[in-house]
Chain A
Amino acid sequence: MIGIKNVASFIPEYALDNLTRVAEFGESQDFIEKKIGALKLPRKGESEETSDLAVKAIHQLLKSSEGLELTSIDALVVVTQNGDGEGLPHTSAIVQAKMGLPKTIAAFDVSLGCSGYVYGLHVLKGFMESAGLKNGVLVTADPYSKIIDSGDKNTSLLFGDAATATWLGYSPSWLIGPALFGTDGEGEEALKTNDAILTMNGRQVFDFAAKNIAPNIKALLTKVAMEEGEVDAFCIHQGSYAIVDSISRRFKENKHKFIRDVVNTGNTVSSSIPLIFEKHVLGSDLKTIVISGFGVGFSWATSMLIKIPHDSFNRGIQ
């Protein structure tokens, strides 16, 4: 069975300091620390492209993954809505060339925002299983700095640039699924680009997430006949501290299991879930994880990740 074998990331070194910027937007440092949560917003270099972030994340993955070679990657998916240039050709093709990946590779982009990682896991897993591929890499790289108006308070204090790379293959450490998905295109106006600049109706986005995500997570738990208490951690999209808190409040006894970490990254769109998974879950004793991504569209996706005990391989989970 195909699942997650490893996760790695790249976060640009240069970052904006939100605490020094907040005054110009008429908000307090308290607002940044307690509600937004992001003290730093990493920014890619001016000439750096989305594919460059992707390449750096894949290099990190290769460095930290025993058994994964450049030449053994046979599928590449890049989740982005801000690809290289004007989006044509697809960024995954550019990544293939920049990295010297085999020309026999299957490579395509997935156009989704903050729900993209959860979708991407299922898309790539299903694609690999149906095609008989062995080593897939799922990249998230959606640098919103390309589309942010630095004077817009609604977006300028929120989003950071980052990229992640997840290795999918046989004999995994984590099983993927089951999952639930959702789409509501009536949210189109709440988060969109106009003339290549991002606009956001913060209240509409907040309402959508606060109303839909907790029920979606609870519905998935019902689907898999699992109680909230059996989940070790909830790795949900890190829109802001305020939105994570608003969702976690619906899980009174298990509120503390919601991971909250945007201090040095901000909202990194589809990269936020793999970033916290890499930092807080990999190498920990946590075994049963709920991941949930939600945002632009509106689009949302919630899935289970279950750690496989090492001795499971001897019982035939390969």
Chain B
Amino acid sequence: MITEQQVKNAIIAAGIDADVNTIGPNDNLRDHGIDSLDFFNLLLELEYLGGKKVPDEEIDKMKTIEALIQYYAD
């Protein structure tokens, strides 16, 4: 299980140029300038944190912080 703050910390650790304070849990991350390569970095940080990898076929569903939290809650 990971928290909203942990996802935001992962965004920072991934070196992504986005203001995490302005990202709501249900905001589309793309709307905050997080592009496909940023997303690869973010998923890597979350994999280190959560101990499992988001499979390629699930990536399209991971548009928000909430979706990522739910994935790691299962």
User: Which residues of A are in contact with B by a Cβ distance under 8 Å?
Assistant: 27-28, 31, 34-35, 201-204, 206-207, 210-211, 240, 242, 245-246, 249
A201-B56, A203-B56, A203-B59 known; A246 and B41 CB under 8 Å? Answer: yes
Residue in chain B with minimal CB distance to A210: B44
Residue in chain B with minimal CB distance to A154: B36
- Residues of chain A within 8 A (CB-CB) of B35 are 27-28, 31, 35
- Residues of chain A within 8 A (CB-CB) of B73 are none
Residue in chain B with minimal CB distance to A248: B15
What DSSP secondary structure best describes chain B's contact surface? Answer: helix
State the CA gap A168–B1 with chains docked (Å): 54
- Residues of chain A within 8 A (CB-CB) of B41 are 210, 242, 246
State the CA gap A206–B36 with chains docked (Å): 11
Contact B37 A206 (CB under 8 A): yes
Contact A245 B44 (CB under 8 A): no
Interface size class on chain B is 10 to 19
Which one, A27, A35, A211, contacts B44 given CB within 8 A? A211
Contact A249 B15 (CB under 8 A): yes
What DSSP secondary structure best describes chain A's contact surface? Answer: helix
Least CB distance, A292 to chain B, in whole angstroms: 18
Pairs A–B under 8 Å by Cβ, sample size 22 = A27-B35, A28-B35, A31-B35, A31-B37, A35-B37, A201-B56, A202-B36, A202-B40, A203-B56, A203-B59, A207-B40, A210-B41, A210-B44, A211-B44, A240-B37, A242-B37, A242-B41, A245-B15, A246-B15, A246-B41, A246-B44, A249-B15
- Residues of chain A within 8 A (CB-CB) of B43 are 203
New contact pairs (4) apart from A31-B37, A211-B44, CB-CB < 8 Å: A31-B35, A34-B17, A201-B56, A204-B56
7 nearest A-B pairs in the assembled complex, by CB-CB distance: A242-B37, A206-B40, A35-B37, A203-B40, A31-B35, A210-B44, A249-B15
- Residues of chain B within 8 A (CB-CB) of A204 are 56
Contact A207 B44 (CB under 8 A): yes
User: Mask for B12-50, Cβ within 8 A of A = 1, else 0?
Assistant: 000101000000000000000001111011011000000
- Residues of chain B within 8 A (CB-CB) of A34 are 17
